[in-house]
A and B are shown apart, each in its own frame.
Chain A
Amino acid sequence: MPPSIEFYCPCLASTPHPPPPHLASSSYSFHPLHNLFFCEECDAIRCNRCVMVEVSGYYCPNCLFEVPSASVRAEKNRCARNCFMCPNCRNTLTVVPSDPPDTGAAIVNTVGEPPFFLYCNHCRWDSAEVGITFEKPTGLAAQLQKYEDSAPESLEFERLKEHYEPHLRASPSTGPAAPHSHHTHTNPITAAASSALARDIPGVGKYTPHSSSVGRNRSSRNKGNYNEVPDYRARVEIGSSNFTMGGGGETDVDLMKHLEDMSEIATLEQRWENSWMTSLQTGDLKPLRIPLHSKKSKRCPSCRHILIKPEQKAQSVRYKIKLVAANYLPAITVSLPHLYAVLAAMRKPGKTPQLSDIESTMHAGKTYSFQLSFTNPLYDPIQVRLHVQRSLPSSSMAEDGGGPSEKRRPPFSVTLPSSAFPIAAYAEAWEYEDDEEMFGVEEDDFDGGGGGRGGGREQGRGRTKTIGILERRANVTVIGGEVAISKEARGNIKFNMLVSYTYRSDDSEPSEEQSTPSRAQVQNREPEMKTFSFYTAIDLGTIIPREEHKSDAMEY
């Protein structure tokens, strides 16, 4: 795994300090920068786990039809037009006409011959197999609607509802009058239970002589409303003989017993939404309506300001409001110079670099340098100060947990420049004078750390300077750091780093509000400086424990 950096969103924690990065649960608190939002009002980072999401529009991902919200419910979040999915491969189905009759091609119908059916271009499934054909090639969902309305589960459900409803309506009057909670009133089962309590409970009461026949006793004696619930007569009983397939009974067992090919049986995912007993077989699956997607706007959980608001049209991928953290926080990328050297060396013989080779580059007991490159998105220069969070909280936790003694000492120590360093302001590309340092080149620049790309400004690196500012160009500053791995270290080199940056606040006068680093160009140059801090977690990779690499250790 290449070295990575993720940004901390404090939404999950009660303290502003991030959890120790080595815990598995911590990964949910750190996010890549491009997933984060920034609330200007709260001056805080927000992430997808804490923002409030609202649906601002529904659309079908297939036909891009914007479904009015009124019909979303009736259609159960599915496309109500012609969009269907193949039940086998989830590909989009197309409507195809039947073969034209052989009588002669004199009249060519533009839409095709009437029995239309759905056809999967991927797996060749077609809906005629399950007996679904259409007279018209449009409005297929409406044509199918009548089947869905008469689906056995909804009919049975309505019947169940009607079965219980009279008892529920009757019960509040007979229920105990004491509690005025509306729940008690609307909860007839509660009422039934309470009234039942007033009597003796069968089997508990000592003097009730109805040991033999509870049933008779029920009907004859009690007028408590719970007893008035008669047994429900199902519309379709599961044990009835007309249930031949899919009931989990003998026919299914026989089918399974003589199964020759697993693909005859539908997968769990294809069946599990059926609440009605249906066939197990793949051949009986019905086409699926395509589920709708939604356009979501996102709000800050704290101040409810909108962070993300997409354009309404389904075809558009733009946003009306887009407050993403990448516009406010300096982007940081991590690289390991020696890793690029390894990569370059591996590229030369022409063999493909194995992932394991890349990982196995950090040996215990050695010191490695790494580089952090900061890119300033703001129109103002910023001053950045780095601070590595001590891994003390983590190690203290480890020893509480009875961890072995090696955990007591931090397995590695990180050295970073402690003084603030500047990053120049972001400017549009054409404002830079030296063309050769355009964007796009900068990423490739890192392997120059090992290879030595030459050039005047790189001579600092020639002197094996590894800590401090390595490079400044445009709005990018590259910082070098070092990690010293202790001899018995193992696990991942993962540490939290606090990044504080100071920027010039542009709107100091509007209110007492905390201002935010805005991209808006500053008009009045009052040098009011603001500082914003955020945590990051840097993962440099896995340490190769020392025992496994005795030979490597011999070298020095």
Chain B
Amino acid sequence: MSVPPSTPRRHATYDTTTPIATPQASRAHSSSHIVQASPHYTTTRRHSLYGTEDRIILDPGSHIWKVGFSGEGKPREVSYADKDTGSPLWTLNRAPDLIDREEEDRLLEARLQTSLRAVFHDSLLTDPKSRKIIILETPLLPLHIKDMFARILFNNLQVPSISFASSHLLALLAAGRVTGLVLDCGHLESTALPIYSSRPLFPHLRTTPLAGSRLSSHLKALLLLFGTYHPPIQSLSAPATQYAPASARATRVPEELLTDTLVEELKTRCCFVGETIDLDVRIASAAAFEEPGTPSSERAMSESGFSGTSGDEGSVDSTSQQTPTSSGFSATAPSQAPSSIGRSPASEGHLQSLANLYTRSSTATDLRIRVEPPPSQQTGTGRGTLLVPGWIRERAAEVLFEGGDVDESSVAEVILDSLLKVPVDLRKSFASGIVIVGGTAMLPGFIPRLHAELVRAISPSLMQGATTPTGKPRRPRPSTHDRYAALRPLIPYFAILNNPAPPSPTTSRASANAGKSPAFTPATMAWIGGSLAGVLKIGGTEVAREKWDAADAQAEPDEDDPMDPLIQTPKPTGWSILPDWTRSPLPNGAPSAKAGPITQPVLNVVVSSPPQATAVGA
């Protein structure tokens, strides 16, 4: 190891309220005396548990964190980012107001600190001062959060070094490739990033907010509209009406019932991704069921009595028969929902027509789930029953595949958009080397469906429906149609490396790639890549604590003079020394002489960055 073991020294950050004037050396000395009081203690102190080259691999999502040691095949611990609440640490939004944002950042930093300390002290049970850490970052991790990570790790936990590594690249390594297109479908956003020979082509990345968080809110909206809730029976002596037609007790789902925890559980335990609905059916059924007010929630409920599959054709008839018999809550029900979930009536109508469509095409069973009644309705005995229609389980994830929006393209379109941006010569390599990672991709059926969607989005049949043969758009959104005509020759080459059910390949290239990755779960692939990178010592550019402290000390005098509240840069410290692909490799005033002419911004993550060079020179 080239870095000498750092002697314990006082850190600049800790302000003591009263000045102390004892030399550090004597303090360290005296403390070592205390240490030697217990022989066992000295042994644990001297022999570090892990080799110094064993890195800690941290995959910090906004929602779920995975931590472990490099060289191991699975993370030691996976947990919610905020263990207390289980809520995401950060979202895509920041407060627009400066004061609010500062408060938001303080809050985030405090929560981050709690989580990071728990990683070392509760999960890994290791001493942070001797552990180098590799942090997996998505390319769009906000810089202020990245800075926050570094600040907490260096200042509070005093880790010796941090390196940031691109999670997409690492996931690709775990799939056994160095070239490919990685789609990370996480909690906040889905990001597609092409990587060529282990170099991420950051300018070609594409992202969409259609990801786990959106799926959760969509699932919640669907349940509010179409789910059914049976409160617990009032008294145990009452006749058991539990399996009666339920019209007596069935109510709409109260919103406070659907806590984030419950929605998360439903999402992870009940939902899956069905196959593509045929387009003709889609159009036809959308036309047929366009009229508003069709009480499909009721239909879902009436079907719930049979636990088996609901008939595809027969359901329409049965609905029309049962509509008069079932009472009260059906027709007026949808009108209550939008206000509670903050959706416009237009989108509610949209949901309604979707429901009509999906109910017909879905064969999934309805589920009864025992749930705790919401606090406001703690009247009955025991638990209530939430009835989740089968089509919601199957089709909730459709929201991820519905594209068309300019800002929120579907996950398939994200891949295609990214493919459109990469150089033409590389498209085939990327198209046949797609890797899908991220927690949302863990939904059963997600990856096969995504493959189908990829093909569907660029297949000519869709184009005929949407555009005239001359390519003249018929609809007011011309740009969204036939965007992917240039990609159409790629159809036989599409191959998702970690597709569990690859379609029979048409080209040798696709057959060499589709389904050929190791059977790691999509959610942990990035972590495994990090573990791999850690053990192979390719974990990206290290930022050593000495560098950080030096930069910290430099920035210290500056910190006082910006009295202007408007120029309050979040934290000027460390800005220049954390490598990031969005930053120029030659930051202002950074003493970087060795950057070299070959360093381009694109390669900044993998090519050693200027601060590293100066670290050696210094």
How far in angstroms is the closest Cβ of chain B from A238?
4
The answer on a CB contact under 8 Å between A277 and B500 is: yes
The answer on a CB contact under 8 Å between B99 and A401 is: yes
B243 within 8 A of A: no
The answer on a CB contact under 8 Å between A248 and B446 is: yes
The answer on a CB contact under 8 Å between A203 and B423 is: yes
B144 within 8 A of A: no
The answer on a CB contact under 8 Å between B502 and A226 is: no
A193 proximity list for chain B (CB < 8 A) = 197-199, 603, 606-607
The answer on a CB contact under 8 Å between A192 and B44 is: no
Q: C-beta contact mask, B10-21 vs A, less than 8 Å → 1, else 0?
A: 110011111111
B367 proximity list for chain A (CB < 8 A) = 259-262
Nearest 7 CB-CB pairs, A to B? A239-B515, A232-B176, A203-B423, A247-B500, A249-B500, A252-B444, A203-B425
Those of B159-210 within 8 Å (CB) of chain A:
173-178, 196-199
Given contacts A56-B41, A239-B501, contact A11 B424 (CB under 8 A): no
How far in angstroms is the closest Cβ of chain A from B87?
13
The answer on a CB contact under 8 Å between A183 and B542 is: yes
Complex Cα spacing A24 to B524, Å: 33
Task: Tell which of A210, A304, A400 has the most Cβ of chain B within 10 Å.
Answer: A304
The answer on a CB contact under 8 Å between A312 and B40 is: yes
The answer on a CB contact under 8 Å between B516 and A252 is: no
Complex Cα spacing A45 to B274, Å: 58
A208 proximity list for chain B (CB < 8 A) = 425
The answer on a CB contact under 8 Å between B198 and A226 is: yes
How far in angstroms is the closest Cβ of chain B from A355?
12
Given contacts A25-B110, A182-B2, A253-B274, contact A210 B44 (CB under 8 A): no
The answer on a CB contact under 8 Å between A304 and B27 is: yes
B393 within 8 A of A: yes
Given contacts A237-B519, A274-B521, contact A55 B500 (CB under 8 A): no
Complex Cα spacing A70 to B31, Å: 24
Give chain B's interface residue range (CB within 8 Å of chain A): 35 or more
The answer on a CB contact under 8 Å between B106 and A23 is: yes
The answer on a CB contact under 8 Å between B519 and A400 is: no
How far in angstroms is the closest Cβ of chain B from A396?
10
B555 within 8 A of A: no
Q: C-beta contact mask, A138-166 vs B, less than 8 Å → 1, else 0?
A: 00000000000001111111001101110
The answer on a CB contact under 8 Å between A401 and B97 is: yes
B145 within 8 A of A: no
Q: Which of A72-80, A129-137, A477-485, A501-509 contacts B (4 or more CB under 8 A)?
A: A72-80
Complex Cα spacing A151 to B188, Å: 32
A275 within 8 A of B: yes
A110 within 8 A of B: no
Complex Cα spacing A272 to B516, Å: 22
A180 within 8 A of B: yes
The answer on a CB contact under 8 Å between B120 and A312 is: no
Complex Cα spacing A201 to B74, Å: 35
Offer 16 A-B interface pairs, CB within 8 angstroms, sorted by A.
Answer: A23-B103, A49-B110, A54-B45, A73-B50, A157-B532, A160-B176, A187-B537, A193-B198, A239-B514, A257-B365, A258-B309, A260-B307, A273-B77, A276-B73, A401-B100, A514-B20
How far in angstroms is the closest Cβ of chain B from A252?
4
B512 within 8 A of A: yes
Given contacts A211-B425, A320-B37, A513-B20, contact A181 B616 (CB under 8 A): yes
B97 proximity list for chain A (CB < 8 A) = 401-402
User: Among the listed B125, B177, B369, B594, which residue makes an inter-chain contact with A231, where contact means beta carbons less than 8 Å apart?
Assistant: B177
Those of B434-470 within 8 Å (CB) of chain A:
441-448
B426 within 8 A of A: yes
B283 proximity list for chain A (CB < 8 A) = none
The answer on a CB contact under 8 Å between B520 and A156 is: yes
B312 proximity list for chain A (CB < 8 A) = none
**Closest chain A residue, CB of each to CB of B603:** A193
A52 proximity list for chain B (CB < 8 A) = 129, 158
Those of A242-260 within 8 Å (CB) of chain B:
243, 247-250, 252-253, 255-260
The answer on a CB contact under 8 Å between A248 and B198 is: no
The answer on a CB contact under 8 Å between A305 and B364 is: no
The answer on a CB contact under 8 Å between B518 and A237 is: yes
The answer on a CB contact under 8 Å between B536 and A165 is: yes
Q: C-beta contact mask, B40-81 vs A, less than 8 Å → 1, else 0?
A: 110111010110000000000000100000001111111000
User: Among the listed A23, A41, A156, A232, which residue makes an inter-chain contact with B20, where contact means beta carbons less than 8 Å apart?
Assistant: A41
Q: C-beta contact mask, B252-285 vs A, less than 8 Å → 1, else 0?
A: 0000000000001100111111100000000000
How far in angstroms is the closest Cβ of chain B from A172?
11
User: Among the listed A198, A226, A238, A268, which residue makes an inter-chain contact with B518, where contact means beta carbons less than 8 Å apart?
Assistant: A238
Q: C-beta contact mask, B602-618 vs A, less than 8 Å → 1, else 0?
A: 01001110001101100
B527 within 8 A of A: yes
The answer on a CB contact under 8 Å between A275 and B364 is: no
The answer on a CB contact under 8 Å between B16 and A243 is: no
How far in angstroms is the closest Cβ of chain B from A246?
9
A266 proximity list for chain B (CB < 8 A) = 269
The number of residue pairs between A and B whose CB atoms lie closer than 8 Å in the complex comes to 388
Given contacts A42-B20, A262-B367, contact A400 B565 (CB under 8 A): yes
Q: A43-B16, A44-B18, A232-B175 are in contact. List 9 more A-B contacts (CB 8 A).
A: A42-B20, A55-B125, A161-B535, A181-B613, A257-B274, A257-B394, A273-B75, A275-B75, A513-B22
Q: Which of A295-303, A362-370, A430-438 contacts B (4 or more CB under 8 A)?
A: A295-303
Q: C-beta contact mask, A164-193 vs B, less than 8 Å → 1, else 0?
A: 110010000000101111111011111011
A96 within 8 A of B: no
B550 within 8 A of A: no
The answer on a CB contact under 8 Å between A240 and B537 is: no
Complex Cα spacing A56 to B127, Å: 10
The answer on a CB contact under 8 Å between B616 and A182 is: yes
The answer on a CB contact under 8 Å between B125 and A272 is: no
**Closest chain A residue, CB of each to CB of B393:** A256
Given contacts A54-B127, A77-B125, contact A238 B499 (CB under 8 A): yes
A405 within 8 A of B: no
Given contacts A163-B176, A243-B500, contact A259 B365 (CB under 8 A): yes
The answer on a CB contact under 8 Å between B34 and A275 is: no
The answer on a CB contact under 8 Å between A304 and B28 is: yes
A238 proximity list for chain B (CB < 8 A) = 498-500, 515-520
User: Among the listed B38, B309, B615, which residue makes an inter-chain contact with A181, where contact means beta carbons less than 8 Å apart?
Assistant: B615
**Closest chain B residue, CB of each to CB of A197:** B598
The answer on a CB contact under 8 Å between A253 and B273 is: yes
**Closest chain B residue, CB of each to CB of A168:** B536
Those of A262-312 within 8 Å (CB) of chain B:
262, 265-268, 272-277, 280, 292-294, 296, 299, 301-306, 309, 312
Given contacts A187-B537, A240-B515, A243-B519, contact A161 B10 (CB under 8 A): no
A183 proximity list for chain B (CB < 8 A) = 541-542, 608, 612
A202 within 8 A of B: yes
B213 within 8 A of A: no
A439 within 8 A of B: no
How far in angstroms is the closest Cβ of chain A from B555?
12
The answer on a CB contact under 8 Å between B49 and A164 is: no
**Closest chain B residue, CB of each to CB of A530:** B18
The answer on a CB contact under 8 Å between A157 and B125 is: no
A154 proximity list for chain B (CB < 8 A) = 72-74
The answer on a CB contact under 8 Å between B422 and A203 is: yes
Given contacts A247-B501, A248-B447, A294-B125, contact A260 B44 (CB under 8 A): no
User: Among the listed B75, B111, B309, B425, which residue makes an inter-chain contact with A202, where contact means beta carbons less than 8 Å apart?
Assistant: B425
User: Among the listed A14, A160, A190, A513, which residue makes an inter-chain contact with B174, where contact means beta carbons less than 8 Å apart?
Assistant: A160
The answer on a CB contact under 8 Å between A268 and B443 is: no
**Closest chain A residue, CB of each to CB of B428:** A214
A100 within 8 A of B: no
The answer on a CB contact under 8 Å between A192 and B197 is: yes
A50 within 8 A of B: yes
The answer on a CB contact under 8 Å between B565 and A72 is: no
Q: C-beta contact mask, A64-88 vs B, less than 8 Å → 1, else 0?
A: 0000011011001100000000000
User: Among the listed A164, A165, A214, A294, which residue makes an inter-chain contact with B426, where contact means beta carbons less than 8 Å apart?
Assistant: A214
**Closest chain B residue, CB of each to CB of A25:** B106
Given contacts A193-B198, A277-B520, A302-B11, contact A514 B107 (CB under 8 A): no
